[in-house]
Amino acid sequence: NQPALASSIFESVVAMDPWYDPALYWLGEIAFASGAFEKSEEWFIKCLAISPDKGGYLSRLALVILFRGKSDQACALAEQAQLLESTCVGTLRNVAEVFLYAGDLDRAEGLLAPLPSDYVADLLTHCWREKQNRSQALHLGRPYQPLFLRLIA
């Protein structure tokens, strides 16, 4: 079980250095991927306690919060992340993903429009699959096929 092995390695790193935020980040990602959103939230909050200026950490926390059913709080965190790292493609992708899931397609489109179309297509495909897999947790305000078509044209 690779996620369990990875978690064990990162937990060992954190045991040696509890201030090593990259290990905390990956523990948050592993928990998120396994659907342990509460645990994932805890790891990302620890990351931000160490590095409060990292928009990437904040944008991932926003996504976790969204998956926990707190759309308004998630969007507010995503906005803060965007302000912290307005030129970081990874952070902007995460923020756009929060807005997509929250149904704010106009804001998502504004963030995604400057990105390469293959990157956007991959993100939108990923979001659609997540929506199908976790439909109880995600709410798209309206279909986003037209957004997909505009952004990859």
Query: How many Cα atoms occupy the beta-carbon half-sphere of 19 within 13 Å?
Result: 2
d(CA 42, CA 147): 33
| Alpha carbon distances (Å) from 117 to 7, 87, 124, 150 | 34, 18, 10, 10
Beta carbons of 56 and 65 less than 8 angstroms apart: no
| pLDDT score, position 101 | 84
Beta carbons of 28 and 50 less than 8 angstroms apart: no
106-147 tens-digit pLDDT: 898 888 888 777 777 788 777 767 666 554 444 444 444 556
Q: Report residue 153 as tokens.
A: 């044209």
49-77 tens-digit pLDDT: 999 999 999 999 999 999 999 999 999 99
